[in-house]
Amino acid sequence: MILQTQGTIETRPLELVSRPEPAPAPGEVLLRVLACGVCRTDLHLVEGDLELARRPIIPGHQIVGLVEAVGPAVGVELVGRRMGVGWLHTACARCDFCLRGQSNLCDTAQFTGFHRAGGYAEFVCASTEALYPMPEGLPPESIASWLCAGIIGYRALKLAEARNARRVGLYGFGGSAHLALQVLKHWKNEVYVATRSPEHQAQARALGADWVGAADSIPAASLESAVLFAPSARLVPVILRALDKGATLAIAGIHLSPLPEMDYQLLYGERRITSVTNNTHRDGEEFLELATRIPIKSEVECFGLDEANEALGRMKRSALRAPAAVLIP
């Protein structure tokens, strides 16, 4: 599925086209895509909330596939292995950010489905630096969302210092929050979920949330940590009112509506706000090991490759009953 011109998803800007099978360059593998998770970042890219880094582009950055071939300088033992590719594709490994373990902030980083062709396709080439070995025995669509929703949610929990908190709030309950809640319950946290969708509220309860409320509601108990997954900045002052002193709010989205003016007293008391910017490869390794060990369970709503516009449209309308994935026959 090619994106040539950005537009509202209702105009179906993703086009199904036929292209030659790509050939892996040195240091790359060719993956036959089995499934690609559908992410809100894809929607932001398609609709123009994010400026295109190249045109045209094949979106999709939660890729599970089989290695079909390898390029020069890559061992043939990778052929036939099931691998995953996430949002961060490569970083320079030389800048100050990379050298201090913050490759997510590298100014020349390349991102899958943004700078590099993504997984809304039958085949994709990927650098060996971007690869994650994926667990066997699980359907590819059920683990595709681990590669961005899971990894970014995990990094958000780390930045929100949730592991050491007793009460953690999750605001918005899309694919990332589904997975983050399971991590928190594994860590024995109390989890408070605020979301506008009655169906998502029911799902949060079923996954073990200790409290569930409307998107702008404030639980009776003060939160020691929180993550905002919804792309709505109007919720920031709401969450700050729910935070205890010394607590941290991590904002997990790549795009957010403008922050509202608010009283400094909401932040006073050493409450902190931090953004979550991409992820490191190490974040991915840590989350995939944890997700396999828990084990994370993922209900998935599946679409055909030619239904990518529909999948993103339903995400926009909050009409998905579960995280979505595009299946490649």
In tens, the pLDDT along 123-136 reads 999 999 999 999 98
Closest to 168 in 3D by CA, of 266, 176, 156: 156
- DSSP annotation string for 171-238: ES-SHHHHHHHHHHHHTT-EEEEE-S-HHHHHHHHHTT-SEEE-TT---SSPEEEEEE-SS-TTHHHH
Please report which confidence band the pLDDT of residue 189 belongs to, taking 50, 70 and 90 as the band edges: very high
Please report which confidence band the pLDDT of residue 10 belongs to, taking 50, 70 and 90 as the band edges: very high
pLDDT at site 322:
84
pLDDT reading at 321 higher than 90: no
Closest to 243 in 3D by CA, of 262, 278, 270, 203: 270
What CA–CA distance (Å, rounded) separates 110 from 117?
11
What CA–CA distance (Å, rounded) separates 27 from 110?
15
pLDDT at site 299:
85
What CA–CA distance (Å, rounded) separates 17 from 129?
28
Cβ burial, residue 75 (10 Å; 0-12/13-18/19+): exposed
The dihedrals phi and psi of 244, each to the nearest 5 degrees, come to -75, 165
- pTM higher than 0.85 for the full model? yes
pLDDT reading at 190 higher than 80: yes
Report angle CA 154, 158, 161 to the nearest 5 degrees: 140
Q: Show the tokens assigned to 12.
A: 């179906």
Cβ burial, residue 250 (10 Å; 0-12/13-18/19+): buried
pLDDT at site 83:
98
Q: Show the tokens assigned to 327.
A: 């299946």
Average pLDDT over residues 27-51: 96
In tens, the pLDDT along 98-157 reads 999 999 999 999 999 999 999 999 999 999 999 999 998 899 999 999 999 999 999 999
Q: Which domains does the chain have, with CATH numbers?
A: 2-139+300-327 (3.90.180.10), 150-275 (3.40.50.720)
The dihedrals phi and psi of 290, each to the nearest 5 degrees, come to -65, -45
Closest to 273 in 3D by CA, of 238, 226, 208, 311: 226
pLDDT at site 329:
76
- DSSP annotation string for 237-261: HHHHHHEEEEEEEEE--S--PPPPP
